[in-house]
Amino acid sequence: MAATYIISDIHGQLDSTRALLRQAGLITADDIWAGQRLVHGHTPISKITDQPPKTVDEPLLYAGGRCVNVDGGMYLGGPGCLYRLPND
């Protein structure tokens, strides 16, 4: 459910820009979502997994590894985390 909200939120923010570029023939929808992986913050992992922020020490991979939440919730007292993007 949280993943659906995150994607919907990003999708909504891109709507007006994407519509303008599409009308101009500069991009297609496939151009926007053609990436291998979506890496995001803005939603603390502890709020999604319902665990104490201090126990979050690695990113949350979901959607078959195509989405990566890197928000370790440092402002909530979490230690934070790093994520190295694969070279593939």
Residues 54-76 pLDDT 10s: 999 999 998 888 889 999 999 99
d(Cα 35, Cα 17) in Å, to the nearest integer?
18
Closest CA to 7 of 53, 86, 64, 67: 67
d(Cα 19, Cα 27) in Å, to the nearest integer?
9
Question: 32-51: per-residue pLDDT in tens?
Answer: 566 678 888 888 999 999 99
- What is the pTM assigned to this prediction? 0.61
